[in-house]
Amino acid sequence: MRVVHLLPVGLISAATLAHEVLLMRLFSIIQWHHFAYMIISIALLGFGASGTFLAFARRPLVERYPAAFAASAALFGMTAVASVAGAERLPFNALEIIWNPGQLGWLAASYAVLVLPFFFGATCIGLAFIRHPGQIGRVYAFDLVGAGIGALGTVGLLFLVPPPAAVCFVAALGFAAAALAATDMARHRWLGVGSLGLAASLIAVWLPPSWTDPGPHMSQYKGLRMALEVPNARVVEERSSPLGLLTIVESPTVPFRYAPGLSLANTQEPPAQLAVFTDGDSITTITAYGGDPATVAYLDRTTAALPYRILKRPRMLILGAGGGEQVLLALRAGADTVDAVELNPQMIDLARNRFADFAGSIFSRPNVHLHLAEARAYAAATDEHYDLIQMPLLDSFSAAAAGVQTMHENYTYTLEALRDYLAVLRPGGIIAITRWLRVPPRDILKLFATATAALEADGVTEAGRHLALIRSWNTATLLVAKSAFTGEDVAAIRGFAAENFFDISWAPGISSADVNRYNQLDQEYLYEGALALLDPKKRADFIERYKFDIAPATDDRPYFFDFFRWRALPELLTLRTQGGAAMLDWGYLILATTLVQAAILSAVLILLPLWLRRRALARGVHRLRFGLYFLALGLAFLFIEIAFIQRFVLFLGHPLYAVAVVLAGFLAFAGLGSALAARWMAVVGRGSAVRGIALAVMVIACLAATYLVALPLVFERLLALPDVAKIAIALLLIAPLAVFMGMPFPLGLGHVGACSEAFIPWAWGINGCASVLSAILAVLLAMHIGFNGVVVIAIILYLVAPALLAGSWDRYVPQTPQGFVPDQDRTRVKPTPEHPIRSGNASIESWRG
C-alpha cells in the first residue's frame, strides 16, 4: 500500500479534528464557553452515526472505495462551511430556553446541522480501515498523525488567520483529500481531481468571509452587540487569536464611560475611552491619557481604590492588565512599581504599541513592567514580593448576570489560587478583588468563603481580622490582608466608604448599625453572610442552606461561577416572570438540556437503526452483558479525557490549549494502544482475552489513581515553564495512560465478534452513544463532585468491565479474540473485503474508548 493512498486518510483526519477544535473557538464567540463540550458531543455523535451507517452500507461502499472516499471527503468540505454558516443563522438563543421552549427545537437543529461534517469525515476514516484490513497499522499511523496535527495545528493556525478563514482552510483540506482519493478512480480520474482541486481553491480563496464570520451572528445579549447599537459606534480594529477575538470599538456620539464601581458622589467626567471586547463580551477599556494624573481622578472614587487608602507607595501586581485602567489608578495613587500581567499577547500589543499614543504610553514608563503570562503561573514563578495584588473586573456584567460563565473553569479565584497570591505578599500586604454585585449575592459570598478558607489553611485563627468588604451600587471589593488590619486601617476604610457613599459589608469591629446605609438593600445579605462564614459553628450550615452554591471553589472544582442548586430551581422558575430570570444560572441548565438532546439524537441516529435489525443477533449471545461492557468503556474513556481537559486548563493556561493538547494526546496514544493490543496479548498470554483486558484495566486504574495525587504536585512545580515545554510535558503525562486506555475496546470487540459478528455494530453503537453522553455528563459531574470524583467513577467502570465479559458465554467461542489469533488459526478468521467489519470497526472509534 503506497503512501499516496494513505495521504487522504491523514488529510481528512487532520481536517476533522481541526474542525472540532475550531468549532469550540467559533461558538465561544457566537455564544459562550460552555458550548465547547457540546461540540465534543456533536463530534462523537457524528462518529457514532457513521459507524452505524457503515455497518449497513459497507459492502457497496467498499466495492466503490475510491469514489466513496472521495465523495465523503468532498461532502465533508462542503458541510464544514455550510454547517457553520447554517448554524450561525439559526434563531437559537441560549438565554431564551427557560421562557421559550421553542428554543429546544433550535438547539436540536444546531446539533443536526453541525454533526454533518463529522459524519462524513468519520465515514472516510472508517472506509479506509474496512478497505485495508491487512494494513491497519499503517492506516492508523496516518490517521493518528493527521489527527494530532489537526488538533494542535489549529491552535497555531488561529494565531495566523481569523476563525472564518480557518473554516475555509479546513474545508479545503477535505477537498484536497477527495482529490487525492480520486486519483484511484478508474474512469474520469483527472476530471474528478481537477474539479475537486478547483473546489478546494474556491473554498480557500474566494468564499465570502461573511458566510462563516461569527461577528454578525453573535448573541444579541453580548456586550459588543449592544455597544454597536449606539448611533455612530464603529469597530476601529479587530485582532484574533486562540486566546480570544479582540474587538476595539469607538463611540463618538455616546462616549464610553466605563468605570465599574464608580461612586455616585463622583463629579468628574472620565476622558474618552476605547472599549475592547474579548469574544464579544468581556470588556476592558483603553483610556485617553495625556500624562496629567488629575484627568483620571475619578478612579479614586471606585471601590477598587480602597487599598490605596491603607498602603502608601506600594509595590504592586496587577493580575489582568487589560487596557490599563488599573495601571492608571496605580500611577494616580503613587505606586512605587507596577508589575502588570496579561495572558493575551495581542492585548499587550494593542495597549503598549497600537494605541500607545492614545493611552499616554503608560506601559512604557520605567516603573511599569508588562508581563506576558497566566496569573497563577506568574505567581508561582516570581521571586518578587508585593504590597498589593490587584485583581480587576474584566468580565461583563451581562455575562455575570445571565450566569453563562457557569461552565467556565476559572482557576483565578480558587482556594489554592488565593494561597498562591498570599505567598507572594509582603508582611502587611493586601489582595484586592473586585466583582460585580448581584442580588441575592453569589460571587462575593463565594469569594469571601474562599478567602476565609485560604487564610485558615495558612494558619490564621481569626480570619475576620484579615478581611474587609465594601460595596457600591453595582460592584463589591474584597480585601484580603496578609496581616490583621489595624485600628488605623479600619478607620481608613470607614473614611473612604463615607466619602464615596459606599457601604461597608465587613470590616473588623463593625456592627449591624454600620451597614446598609447608602445603597440600601431590603436585607444586608453580605454582612449577614460574612458573620455566618466567619463562625466555624455556623459556616457549614449557612453554606448548605443558602439558595445558591457558595462553597469555596478549589482546583478540583474550579467552577467559581457555578452557583446552581437543583432544589432552588422550582422557586426561581416561579419568579422568572416577575424579573427573577436573572437569578437563574443559565449555563448549567443549558448544559443539562443539551445532555437530554444528545441522548435523544444518539438513540435515534445510532441505536434505532441497529434495533431495527436486532433479529440478526444470535440467540445465545449475552446481549445485556456485552452491551454493558461497551457502555462502561464509552463512559469511562470520555470521563477521563474530559477530566484531563478540564484539569489541564490550569497547567496550559487556556481552555483551547487544553482541548487541543489533550485531544491530540489521547487520540494518538490510545490509537497506538489499540495497535499494540495484539502484542499485549502475546505478553500476557494468548489463552484469554478477558485476562488481557483485566490486566490492561488494572494498569489504567493504577495510573489514573497515581495521577489523582501526582498531577497537582506536578503542576505546582512546573507551572512557570514556557508553553512549548508544558505542551510536551502534558503529552508525556498523557501517553502511558492513553496507551492502555486504547486496548480494552479492540480486545473486547474482537472477543465479542468471535461469538457473534452481528453484535459488532451494536457494540460500536452502544459505545458511541456512551461517548456522546459522557462528554457532557462528565462536566456536570465535575461541577458536583470534582475532577477527582469523575476519575474515580471512570476507574470503577474500567475495573467492572472485564467481569462483564467473563462467565458462561465463554463456551460459545475460543478465548482468543478475533484479529489476535495464533498463526495456525489465522486463515479461519482473517478479515476480508467481504467481511471487513471484524477488524475495521474495532479501529475506527477505538481512540474514543
At 433, the pLDDT band (50, 70, 90 cuts) reads very high
At 494, the pLDDT band (50, 70, 90 cuts) reads very high
Question: CB 457: neighbour CB atoms within 10 A?
Answer: 14
Please say if the pLDDT value at position 95 is more than 80: no
d(CA 414, CA 208) in angstroms, rounded, equals 44
Q: Of 671, 735, 742, 546, nearest to 142 (Cα)?
A: 671
Q: What is the dihedral of CA 796, 800, 802, 808, to 10 degrees?
A: 180
Q: Which of 146-160, 236-250, 292-306 has the lowest mean pLDDT?
A: 146-160
The CA distances from residue 43 to 13, 320, 658, 701, 771, in Å, are: 12, 34, 17, 27, 10
The beta strands (E) that lie in 502-564 are given as: 503-506
Between residues 340 and 63, the one the model is more confident about: 340
At 755, the pLDDT band (50, 70, 90 cuts) reads low
**What are the pLDDT digits (tens) for 773-791?**
887 888 888 888 888 999 9
Please say if the pLDDT value at position 64 is more than 50: yes
Q: What is the pLDDT of residue 492?
A: 95
**What are the pLDDT digits (tens) for 710-747?**
998 888 888 878 888 898 999 999 999 999 998 888 78
Q: What is the pLDDT of residue 843?
A: 33
Q: What are phi and psi of 459, to 5 degrees?
A: 95, 5
Q: What is the pLDDT of residue 242?
A: 83
Q: What is the pLDDT of residue 835?
A: 38
* Residue-averaged pLDDT of the chain: 80
Q: What is the pLDDT of residue 849?
A: 40
Q: Which of 241-245, 540-544, 747-751 has the lowest mean pLDDT?
A: 747-751
Burial classification of residue 518, based on how many CB atoms lie within 10 Å of its CB (0-12 exposed, 13-18 middle, 19 or more buried)? middle
Q: CA angle 244-248-250, nearest 5°?
A: 160
Q: CA angle 348-352-355, nearest 5°?
A: 110
Q: Which of 11-15, 393-397, 672-676 has the lowest mean pLDDT?
A: 393-397
Half-sphere exposure of 838 (CA within 13 A, CB side): 23
For residue 140, how far is the Cα from the chain centroid? 27
d(CA 524, CA 536) in angstroms, rounded, equals 21
Task: Taking residues 481-487, report their average pLDDT.
Answer: 95
Q: Which of 131-135, 317-321, 387-391, 517-521 has the lowest mean pLDDT?
A: 131-135
The verdict on whether omega for the bond into residue 536 sits within 30 degrees of 0, i.e. cis, is no
| Integer-rounded Cα radius of gyration of the chain | 29
Q: Of 472, 447, 449, 333, nearest to 391 (Cα)?
A: 447
Please say if the pLDDT value at position 326 is more than 50: yes
d(CA 256, CA 76) in angstroms, rounded, equals 44
**What are the pLDDT digits (tens) for 605-628?**
666 766 766 555 545 446 677 778
State the SS3 of 610-626.
Answer: HHCCHHHCCCCCCHHHH
The CA distances from residue 790 to 38, 591, 778, 780, in Å, are: 18, 17, 7, 10
Q: What is the pLDDT of residue 828?
A: 31
Please say if the pLDDT value at position 594 is more than 80: no
Sheet holding 244-250, edge to edge: 234-241, 244-250, 273-278, 282-287
Cell of 273: 475611552
Task: Taking residues 10-16, report their average pLDDT.
Answer: 90
Q: Which of 140-149, 192-201, 330-339, 435-444 has the lowest mean pLDDT?
A: 192-201
Please say if the pLDDT value at position 668 is more than 90: no
d(CA 449, CA 360) in angstroms, rounded, equals 39
Q: What is the pLDDT of residue 183?
A: 75
281 contacts 224 by C-beta, under 8 angstroms = yes
Pairing of strands 273-278, 244-250: antiparallel
Question: CB 549: neighbour CB atoms within 10 A?
Answer: 21
Cell of 493: 476604610
Between residues 842 and 662, the one the model is more confident about: 662
Following DSSP, what letter does each residue of 682-702 receive, concatenated?
Answer: HHH-TT-HHHHHHHHHHHHHH
Q: What is the pLDDT of residue 38?
A: 75
At 809, the pLDDT band (50, 70, 90 cuts) reads very low
Amino acid identity of residue 215, one-letter, is G
